[in-house]
Structure formats: C-alpha cells, structure tokens
Chain A
Amino acid sequence: MLKIFSALVAGIIFGMGLVLSQMVNPNKVIKFLDITGQWDPSLMFVLGGAVLTTMIAYRFIFSRSKPVFDDDFHLPTLLQIDRQLLIGAVLFGVGWGVIGYCPGPAVASLGFGVEEPLIVVISMLAGMLFYRAMV
C-alpha cells in the first residue's frame, strides 16, 4: 500500500513539473527541436535541472543497501548498445518531432480537456502493444 501511495505522490510531483516546465506545450517542444529556426532552448534547462537534481539524489540513494519500501533497487540489466536501442530511439525521435509530445507530457495533459493528448496516448498504447505482439 505504501508503495502505491508513494508512486501516486511521485506521479503528482512529476505532472506538476511537466506543466511548470511547459513540456506539456507541444509548440514549445517543437521550437526546442527547431534549432535552425526560432530556437527556444528552454527545454535544455528542464533536462539540466532534472538530471542535476536526480544525479545528486541518486548518489545518496544508491549508497543505501535498499529502497525504503522494497527489498531491491529495480535497475535495468541491459548494458549493450544494440540495434533495438538505436532504432527504437530514432523512431521515438521521429514521433516526438512530428507531434511534439513525448510519453510523460502526453499522459500529464490528459486532464486538460483537450483532444490531442488523448489521441496520442491511445495510439502510443497501441504502438507499445503492437511491438510486444511482434517480438
């Protein structure tokens, strides 16, 4: 139960951060990727702020033997830079560049009462299930 509650709290804070940083604004995201146009570098600061905060916190967190509500840290075990990783990242970048939403902001925008994120999230879920069915 505690694990579920802490995930809810983490989700709420994450969602607030996505709105405050305007990652939920696809126009701004596309302007960030548009380096040959009217480039808006703001999102570099989102990534920078998030990475810096997480990097410092992880240092302390990983010096513990385990998380508070679990027996182990669940970290990715894959280490290889393989074709799947690269093709997947290229595909994700294409989708991101065309519509201006990545998964987090699309989900966090579901409560805004606009149509775009809902279409994106449903299609994204379909894409995930499709890939799962293929492999």
Chain B
Amino acid sequence: MENFTPYLSLAGGVLIGISASILMYLNGRIAGISGIVAGSFNAPSFEEKAWRLAFVVGLVLGGAIFMHFFPITITPRENMSTALLVLGGLVIGVGTAMGSGCTSGHGICGISRFSLRSLVATATFLLSGIITVYVFKQMTGG
C-alpha cells in the first residue's frame, strides 16, 4: 500500500467528473472515450466528426500539459512485449465496441445516470480485469 494516493486520485476523479458534466451540459453527450473514438469513424456530419476529434485532441493536450508541469513517474515495464500490447489493444477495441463502452462511458457516465446496463458492464469488466491480472501473474510467475 506504499503507493496509495487517495487524495490525488480523488481530485483527478473530480476533474474527470467535471469534464463529463461539461460535455453533457453543453453538448448533451456522454463522455465515453471508446464511444467518442469509435463514433468518429462513421460520423454523419462534419460537426459530429469534428467535436469527437476535438475531444480526443483535448485529451492528448490535457494529458501532455499536465504531465509537463506535474510529471509523474511511470516505470517502464520489462515483461510487456509489443505483441502483448497489440493483442491487448485489439481485444480492448473489439470488447468496447461490442459492449458499447469502457471505464468512462459505462463506469462513470452510465453509473452516474443510474443505467443498469452500465452497472452490469462495469462490474463485469472489473471482475474480468481482476481475474485476468491474477491468471497473468500465475502464468508469468510474478
């Protein structure tokens, strides 16, 4: 528990919540990253495509700006191969498209509007993630 950061995590969560609230209040949209990204492929209008891309650009900018002024250390991983990253990314892409959402869309926005679907999805991917980490640890001997 030496890396437990409840206050910073809570503050970060509140920022994420403020962002989700702004997007719903102003644009009437769910701040679900996988949905925003996937929806940009077949956006029916220029404006539809543009706001989705603008959100993604903002995400990159916000992350980079914050990282520049308040850098956090991310220790590089030795047991993470490119093949594993590709496989993981593919599975996440398929899974979020099939399950209509990820941590932000289901976990934050969905639960916040009391969607049973999102609550079930969130419980499912949390459990699936926990089991995966456990199994993966046994397999890699970590």
Listed in ascending order, the chain A residues whose CB lies under 8 Å from chain B are 2-28, 30-31, 33-55, 57-58, 61-62, 66-70, 72-76, 78-81, 84-99, 101-104, 106-112, 114, 116, 119-132
Q: Report the Cα distance A111→B8, complex, angstroms.
A: 21
Q: Report the Cα distance A19→B132, complex, angstroms.
A: 24
Per DSSP, chain A at the interface is: helix
Classify chain B's interface size: 35 or more
Which of B15, B59, B77, B97: most chain A CB closer than 10 A?
Answer: B59
Listed in ascending order, the chain B residues whose CB lies under 8 Å from chain A are 1, 3-31, 33-34, 37-38, 41-42, 47, 50-52, 54-67, 70, 72, 74-77, 80, 82, 84-100, 102-104, 106-113, 115-117, 120-122, 124-134, 136-137
Q: Report the Cα distance A74→B72, complex, angstroms.
A: 35
Q: Which residues of A contact B102 (CB under 8 A)?
A: 92, 102-104
Q: Report the Cα distance A9→B130, complex, angstroms.
A: 33
Q: Which residues of A contact B136 (CB under 8 A)?
A: 97-98
Flag if A111 contacts B89 (CB, 8 Å): no
Flag if A90 contacts B125 (CB, 8 Å): yes
Flag if B96 contacts A42 (CB, 8 Å): no
Flag if A40 contacts B1 (CB, 8 Å): yes
Q: Report the Cα distance A53→B80, complex, angstroms.
A: 35
- Given A52-B13, A93-B130, 7 more A-B residue pairs with CB atoms under 8 Å apart are A17-B14, A21-B15, A51-B13, A52-B14, A94-B132, A96-B129, A123-B88
Q: When the two chains form the complex, which single residue of B13, B27, B75, B109 contacts A67, counting CB atoms closer than 8 Å? A: B27
Which of A73, A76, A119: most chain B CB closer than 10 A?
Answer: A76
